[in-house]
Amino acid sequence: MRHARLVPAAAGLLLYLASACAAAAQELPRVRLVATGGTISNRTGGRLTADELINLAPDVRRYARPEAEQFSNTASSDLTLGQWLALSRRLNELYSTDAALAGIVVTSGTDTLEELAYFLHLTVRDARPVVVVGSMRNPSTTGYEGAANLLEGFRVAATPEARGKGALVVLNDEINSAREVTKTDALRLQTFQSRTTGVLGVVDPDRVVFYRSVVKRHTAASEFDVSKIAELPRVDVLLVYQGAPGDLIRAAVDLGAQGLVVAAAGAGATSGTQSEGLAYAIGKGVTVVATTRAGSGRISGTRMFGAPFIGGEDLAPVKARVLLMLALAATRDPAEIQRMFLQY
């Protein structure tokens, strides 16, 4: 009889625990995965879908209520600038129509991840985080780290401390700012680094830890509105090397480049006949931005190449191109463009 009396009590306890677990799950933040493809999805025999990626990291559900959306499923180098615009519009739409969404995770191939992440850093106009993740090894390779990076991306997107820090790149247990991070090695897992500025934070087993924030303008404070941009203007990057010909610069201008980013030697040197080519470009009304190929260092605006130019500050050449495309979509005023390079 005593055992019979215990059965309803046990059943009641189980019901209570089930209800408590359900309530706890409902309290977890909602995070949307928007998958674009890349090595993280590139399994032998076919690419993983957004839903399949989430299933590779079941621990995600300990930290967030995951949602999956397939934007594209291709190599990052195959994404077009039109797709960049469409992706940014989609992320802005998700945030503007869903106040309860805590964060967004975007998967990308690592080859051009830093460029896409910086574009989202400048164009997703919300304080909630956009976390870009990828992997150096594909799902069919021993040592595939994509599931761990995806889990950490969800953890960062779900944490309230990630708000207001712009687009974030999360790989290899580290959180880097999309503005500062760059791919430094073709093969190693620790390839994404922020060099002189360092990481924003780390993802440890017990919690997500942030050490600093980005002071430059981004996301919610950005002036760049992709809903008003039908097409990004052509901007080319030209590398300075010994004896480089200026005719490549002329060719870029004659073929429609509206802006040029020069990856100069050292603190701004050109070589060969590049100065003549740049004078030709400036004479044609093309906006020229000077950066350094050195990997770090600040280039300020002044006279160089025999004419005024825009100083690219400390942006890597490929990121200066991203900012210049957005700037040229809004204005051709050199003073305004220089202001943007100072502020962003």
Active-site residue, from 36, 39, 123, 287: 39
Q: What is the pLDDT of residue 12?
A: 53
Per CATH, 28-221 and 234-343 having the same topology is answered yes
Neighbours of 71 (CB within 10 A): 19
User: What is the token pair recorded at 332?
Assistant: 């051709």
User: What pLDDT is attached to residue 301?
Assistant: 80
Task: Tell me whether residue 110 is one of the annotated catalytic residues.
Answer: no
CA-wise closest residue to 329 among 256, 259, 251: 259
pLDDT of residue 118: 98
Query: Domain 28-221 - what CATH class?
Result: alpha beta
Which pLDDT value is given to residue 92? 98
Q: Is 198 left (phi over 0), alpha (psi -120 to 50) or beta?
A: left
Write out residues in the chain with pLDDT < 70, as ranges: 1-26, 302-307
The predicted pLDDT at position 111 comes to 96
For the chain, the domains span 28-221, 234-343
In 3D space, the residue among 242, 276, 266, 262 whose CA is nearest the CA of residue 311 turns out to be 262
Residues in the chain: 344
Helix, strand, or coil (residue 263)? strand
Query: How is domain 234-343 classified at the architecture level of CATH?
Result: 3-Layer(aba) Sandwich (3.40)
